[in-house]
Amino acid sequence: MGETGRLNLIAGKEKFTDPQYVAVWKELASWAPYLGDGFQAQKYPDSQNLFSLGKGAIYAAGSWDITTFRGQAKFAMGAFPPPLQPARRIATSRTMSTSRWA
């Protein structure tokens, strides 16, 4: 999916109900047991704040949040690529050093 998928969504060539997107939603739904109580109603800034305070082990986001966390968090952070199906694995670069994210 990636950038091509994003562009296809904008152009109307793909939909979030297409199988490749439904698979992502299912994967994310399987993370629910590891999330805090009431996570469904939690606002984006609240999630950032909780992670910055060390009250979350993983923050699923993109590179746009690196600056926020580097300015607020008092611990070393790292990044890892999202899980991909074997046929879709690609080389990735690390954008942050020592990992707090698992």
* CA angle at 65 for the pair 96 and 7, rounded to the nearest 5°: 105
How confident is the model at residue 98, as a pLDDT? Answer: 40
pLDDT tens-digit series, residues 7-50:
999 999 999 999 989 988 898 888 888 888 888 898 988 888 88
Number of H helices, E strands in the chain: 4, 0
The DSSP result for 44-67, as a single string, is HHHHHHHHHTT--S-----GGGHH
Bigger pLDDT: 101 vs 88:
88
> Taking the model in full, what pTM does it have?
0.59
Query: What is the spatial distance between Cα 28 and Cα 35, in angstroms, rounded to a whole number?
Result: 11
Residue 96 scores a pLDDT above 70: no
